[in-house]
Structure 1
Amino acid sequence: MPRLRVHNFSMSLDGYGAGPGQDELHPLGVGGELLHEWVFATRPGRAMLDREGGSVGVDADFIVQGVEGIGATIIGRNMFGPVRGPWPDDKWTGWWGEDPPYHHPVFVLTHYPREPVVMEGGTTFYFVVDGIESALAQAFEAADGLDVRLGGGANTIQQYLRAGLLDEIHVAVVPLLLGSGERLFDGIDPVARDYTCTELVASSVAHMRLTRAV
């Protein structure tokens, strides 16, 4: 049965998945880029940027696992861009240039409708205004039997956690303190005990896979 999965979500030691003050110059908030240095030190991470070299091993393996068997992705509006409120125009098409790294349908949670945005490489952004369950149903249909990846950010993951819809979450705990920003596991008390750690691997970061009890 297809699952909803989170992969390679980087979190600081003090629980933040992004820094404060996201804007066009700081896509991950101030200091948030430090959480992802481990990704772009790996060979598959550098390949996302069309760069050669990079490490192989545990970290690289987790990056690869994050795209295996995935047919669609769900992201929050903040992950798509810094634009707030009604869409002023169609100019903003994401952080990733003309060929985003998804290469499959991506469903963006928003309160404001917008026509789909077709990008190079097979990525199309669809804007969902009627809630997380609708986005998940559309993503599963588009994935055609494959799993759906939940890309974040933190608030989006919390919504799916609290609703009991997230099957698996892989968190990479990075050995640094951010001090402020967006916490990943705030407000999940009702469902916290439904998840158990099924994998723990240490490398340059601590990889933890949490799986929801069936």
Structure 2
Amino acid sequence: MLIASYNPGQTGDILVVILGEDAKKQEVMYGDSVVRIFDAKNDKTTGFNFLNASTILPRLKDVNGQVELTQDDLDALNNELSKNDIDEQIELDTDPKFVVGYVKSVKEHPKSDHLKITETEIDGGKTLQIVSGSPNMQEDIKVVVAKVGAMMPDGLIIWPGELKGEESDGMICSGRELKIPNAPQRPGALILPDDYQVGDAFDFDKASTLFE
């Protein structure tokens, strides 16, 4: 997992790099230009904060929000880790986090009158159990799935979880949640046309014309 965010107006010149879900008990280690956040129980790193980030990655001066890191970016960040006597290296994550999914089955949630439990196929033929509250949820539709590790346009990060006791690994998204131009401002899964192929990375640029 690799999520990076840069919001200078809110947090200053700091690049936040997330490698895993927050631990129940976290510790921090301060270097000259890097803060390491890690699980106090097993010493596993969950993230880094790079201080004075725009001096490390000058292109950040034109960025506000999620940052899609390239290998060149990681080379510069990993060099900064070494300068701070941190042996770890950040690895590139090229796995698409928003993909076209296919809802294979839908059943009622045993503890809710509005939630549905879906079996949804994503990339590589993998099937996920995803709990959805979309009022238009049904079988045999193509949808957008935000996988675990995705950052939504509003900054929400998708983690594995449970909804009323049922496992849910990902989220089936609405057009509103994806901030598709002119999408209806109401709940409901974005049902994709047939020309979208199950397993493909979701193309936000292509989808910008869905509601024209």
The two structures have a TM-score, normalised by structure 1, of: 0.24
Q: Structure 1 or 2: larger helix share?
A: 1
The two structures have a TM-score, normalised by structure 2, of: 0.24
Larger Rg computed on CA atoms: 2
Between 1 and 2, higher relative CO (CA 8 Å, sep ≥ 6) is seen in 1
